[in-house]
A and B are shown apart, each in its own frame.
Chain A
């Protein structure tokens, strides 16, 4: 009996060790920009945090078949948008989507998403060891006019 308990305790200790070594990915503050009639695409934003380095390798949603991960970059004066196959998420460093970097595009929507609706998103990650896991979130649809990030405050520059 004692032996059984001891081995059970050992097994659970082993289990918790294994568990803490696996990447734990949390997704917070997921939201989608509201749309007006006639629009067929919109952006989704969130903050991803992982306890281990991992990679976002896929996003899907029941609202549309076409979901893409995009990166925005300044090329001189021109802001460019390019699709990404995957996105590296570093360990313990929250990765926030927004106007200076990444966003998810929901494309070819059959009807515009209105403020107050909720959009299910399934994010698939692949760990460094090649193990796949997924996180499901419900993204809140906010106003079309919602700023993607706080207005920049620390770039004051006077020019003559």
Chain B
């Protein structure tokens, strides 16, 4: 009886296996979280570290990886930017079709001049973006990125969401990139999305 059951289970698996393989081929796998249908991300109206006005339309045809941060952030932001510099190196020629954007959540203290000094240290191709308080708030909200700035004994404590988002070359936000993703995983996801175009 038991043997027969196992036999039946094996037969069932053998029948199902080809379907599973087909499904695997159809649905792409990502290291990041697929948010393609969540309609994440609003319009971008900000200035980069060189003083140029930027919108998402400037980057059509490229994969955009966007993060939020602040320059006085001691760990997470430099680590994220260093990791993205490594992603660019891993991408090789595909890096030309990839744009990293880093939006300050603290435009009061992160001046354009400071962003100009800070951002190219990681990679000269990265753009540091700065908007008004209202523009910052509405862009962060559209990406479900939370932040707040608290004044404390001569400094400002900033809370913020460290994850990034990947936007495809058509301008659709496709993946959420959690903070613990490695450079290899992010590069793999960028390549997967670029390969779909």
Q: Mark B144-176, 1 if CB is under 8 A from A, else 0.
A: 111100001111011111110000000000000
Tell me the number of A-to-B contacts counted with CB atoms below 8 Å: 119
Contact B157 A82 (CB under 8 A): yes
Closest residue of B by beta carbon distance from A39: B71
Q: Given A40-B72, A108-B155, verify A159-B30 contact (CB < 8 Å).
A: yes
Nearest CB of chain A from residue B90's CB, rounded to whole Å: 12
| CB–CB B154/A79 < 8 A | no
Residue of A nearest to B109 (CB): A40
Could you tell me if A152 and B180 are in contact, using CB atoms closer than 8 angstroms? yes
Rounded to whole Å, the gap between the CB of A30 and the closest CB of chain B is 14
CB-nearest residue of chain A to B161: A77
Report B100-125 residues with CB < 8 Å from chain A CB: 111, 113-114, 117-118, 121-122
Most buried by B among A38, A76, A79, A148: A79
For the complex formed, measure the closest distance between the CB of B84 and the CB atoms of chain A, giving whole angstroms.
Answer: 11
Residue of A nearest to B23 (CB): A160
Given contacts A41-B72, A147-B82, contact A77 B163 (CB under 8 A): yes
Q: Is B74 an interface residue (CB 8 A)?
A: yes
Shortest 5 CB-CB contacts between residues of A and residues of B: A43-B74, A99-B75, A38-B114, A36-B117, A80-B159
Beyond the given pairs A38-B117, A108-B154, A159-B34, 10 more chain A to chain B contacts, judged by CB atoms under 8 angstroms and listed by A's residue number, are: A38-B118, A77-B163, A98-B75, A103-B74, A108-B155, A145-B78, A151-B182, A152-B182, A159-B33, A160-B34
Can you name 30 A-B residue pairings with CB atoms under 8 Å? A33-B74, A36-B117, A39-B71, A39-B117, A39-B118, A40-B72, A42-B74, A70-B157, A75-B159, A77-B145, A78-B159, A78-B160, A79-B76, A79-B161, A79-B179, A80-B159, A81-B157, A81-B159, A99-B75, A144-B118, A145-B78, A148-B74, A148-B75, A148-B79, A155-B182, A156-B31, A156-B185, A158-B29, A159-B31, A160-B29
